[in-house]
A and B are shown apart, each in its own frame.
Chain A
Amino acid sequence: KAGVTQTPRYLIKTRGQQVTLSCSPISGHRSVSWYQQTPGQGLQFLFEYFSETQRNKGNFPGRFSGRQFSNSRSEMNVSTLELGDSALYLCASSGIGTGAEQYFGPGTRLTVT
């Protein structure tokens, strides 16, 4: 079974631009969660989508948004990029049921200059 895939793997953007990251979950998984990892704040939950609906949201500004498509693929978008948005963005997919184990993708390394 193929794992979680994320594209692109690396990205360099300029402050003020916007960016879209993509995540394809494990086949059959309908829940996709996004996390941000930075040296200063560690791993923080962004949001979770299930069946195209946002079910849970973390404490991030509205510049961070996401969506999920009918095939369970998910995208997250960050608008008006700031230097502090530089991070490793991880997505994780899981099966049905809250508490189901989450399997992480390889991540997208975003650098904002």
Chain B
Amino acid sequence: ELKVEQNPLFLSMQEGKNYTIYCNYSTTSDRLYWYRQDPGKSLESLFVLLSNGAVKQEGRLMASLDTKARLSTLHITAAVHDLSATYFCAVIIQGAQKLVFGQGTRLTINP
């Protein structure tokens, strides 16, 4: 059974600092997704990572994928308050249209 684990689950940081969220998954998968969720809202797609070594960047967020280690990271650079949200990674079950989500990382950025 595919399991996806994120850490940390809670992260409180100051504006201007850098930090990384980790996402480990237990079995081989075709692709990995990162989503953002604001309180009471739906999921907003941030990144889709398709292959080993893939790196994608959007603004202050950068995601990478190491399929051999079954590890993805979401790096936040010079955090700003607007990035406060819950971030989920999700892995697709091979051959099925089924996402398995991590527990989510609740990120709070303080001025």
Contact = CB atoms under 8 A, between A and B. Distances in A.
Contacts of B88: 43
Secondary structure dominating the interface of A: strand
B111 interface: no
Contact of A104 (B43, B48, B95, B103): B43
Interface in A20-77: 31, 33, 35, 42-45, 48, 50, 55-56, 58
Chain A contact-residue range equals 20 to 34
B97 A48 contact: yes
Interface of B: 30-31, 33, 35, 40-45, 48, 88, 90, 92-93, 95-104
Interface of A: 31, 33, 35, 42-45, 48, 50, 55-56, 58, 90, 92, 94, 98-107, 109
11 contacts: A31-B97, A33-B97, A42-B103, A43-B90, A45-B99, A48-B96, A99-B97, A100-B97, A101-B45, A102-B97, A104-B43
